Amino acid sequence: MNLLPQALIDGILIGGIYITFSIGFSLAFGVMHIIDFAVGEWVMLGAFLGFYLNGWLGIDTILFLPVVFIVFGCIGYLLQPIIYRVLSGTRGNPRLMGLVFTFGIALMIQGLGLTFFGFYSHTIKTFLTAGCLQFSIAGSYITIPIVRLAALIYALAITFGLSYLLKKTDFGIAVRAVAQHRDAAALMGINIKKTSSYIYAIYVGISAMTGILLGSVFSITAQMGGNYTILAFFVVVLAGMGYLPGVPWAAFLLGIVQSLFLIYFNPDWTLLAVFTILFLILIISPKGLFGRGI
C-alpha cells in the first residue's frame, strides 16, 4: 500500500498544529521585537485551565476557547508593560534582555505548574476526539482524525483573522507602523505602549487557546512548554522572524518532513532532519524562506 498520501496529509495536519502556537509568537516578535521564550508555558497554562474547567463544570472543553482567550489576554495585557519597562531600561541589547527576561518567566511558570499540577500527564477529552474521516485516494486509504482537522481549521482561521486585522483595520495599520518604525509611528500619534499591550494580549490569548486543542491531540504535562517553545522558534525562524505570512508555509514544511521521517526513515532522526533543513535554508536565505524576515 502506498503510504505517501497518508504521510503528506499527516504532515499537513501536523503543520496545522505548529501554526497554532507559532503565529502569535511571530506577531509578538514583529511588533515588539521580543523573542518570548514563555510561549510554550502559555500553551501549557491554557491547556490546564481548559482541563480543570471541564472537570469542574462538566462542559465540553472546546466551548471554553473564548474564556481562555479572554483570561490570558488580560494577563498578557497586564504583563506587557513590565516587559516594556525591562526592554526600555536596557542600555545594551534589548532583544537579548527580552529573551533572558521571558526565559525567566518561563522557568517561573514551569515551577509553579509542577507545584500545582504535579508531574502526571492528562488528556483533554472533547466531542472531537472520538471520530475520524476515512476515504481512499488512488488505492490508498486515508485516515484523518477529526480533532487534528479541527486544529488545522482553527490555525487557518487564526491566520486569516490576523491577516485581516493587520491589513483591513485602523488598528492593524497602527500595528504595522509600529513594527516598521517605532519612532516614526510615535511621531504620527500612535500610542506605542498601548498598541504593544494589545498585541501581546492577543498573542498570549491565542497561545493559551491553542493549549486546549493541543491537549485534545496530545497529553499535557506541566513540563510540556519547552518542546513547543523550541518548535515555535523553528517555525518562526524558518518563516522569517516577524514575517507572518511565512509561518503557515514553514509549519507545513516542517510537518511534512517530520511525517515522512516517521513513516519512511528512523523516527529518531526527525529532529536532526528539522535542524538540517533549518540550517541549510538559513545559509541560503538568512531572513527565512521568503527573505522577508527582520
pTM of the model: 0.88
- pLDDT value of position 168: 87
3-state secondary structure of 137: strand
Predicted pLDDT of residue 43: 93
pLDDT, residue 263, reads: 79
Tell me the domain boundaries of the chain: 4-284
List 141's β-bridge partners, or say none: 136
Contact (CB, 8 A) for 215 and 124: yes
Distance in Å from the first CA to the final CA of the chain? 44
- From residue 205, give the alpha-carbon distance in Å to each of 42, 74, 201, 243, 252: 8, 8, 6, 20, 23
The pLDDT of residue 294 is 65
Task: Give the containing element (helix H, strand E) for 18.
Answer: helix 4-32
- CB within 8 Å of 49: residues ≥ 6 apart: 64, 68, 71, 72, 208, 211
10-residue mean pLDDT profile of the chain (294 residues): values are: 76 86 84 84 92 86 90 92 76 70 89 88 82 75 84 89 88 85 81 88 92 86 88 86 84 87 77 80 80 69
Q: Which amino acid is at 283?
A: I
**Phi, psi of 228, deg, nearest 5:** -75, -30
133 three-class SS: strand
User: Under 8 Å CB-to-CB from 230, ≥6 apart: which residues?
Assistant: 40
Which pLDDT score is estimated for 18?
A: 85
- pLDDT tens digits, one per residue of 208-224: 999 988 888 888 999 98
Q: What 3-state DSSP class applies to 188?
A: coil
pLDDT at residue 48, as a whole number: 93
**What confidence score (pLDDT) does residue 206 get?**
92
- CA-CA distance, 93 to 2, in Å (whole number)? 52
Q: Measured between alpha carbons, how far is 88 from 84 in angstroms, rounded to an integer?
A: 6
**Backbone conformation region of residue 8, classed left if phi is above 0, alpha if psi is from -120 to 50, else beta:** alpha
Burial 41-50 (b: 16+ CB within 10 A, else e): bbbbbbbbbb
In angstroms, rounded to a whole number, what is the distance separating the alpha carbons of residues 40 and 232?
A: 8
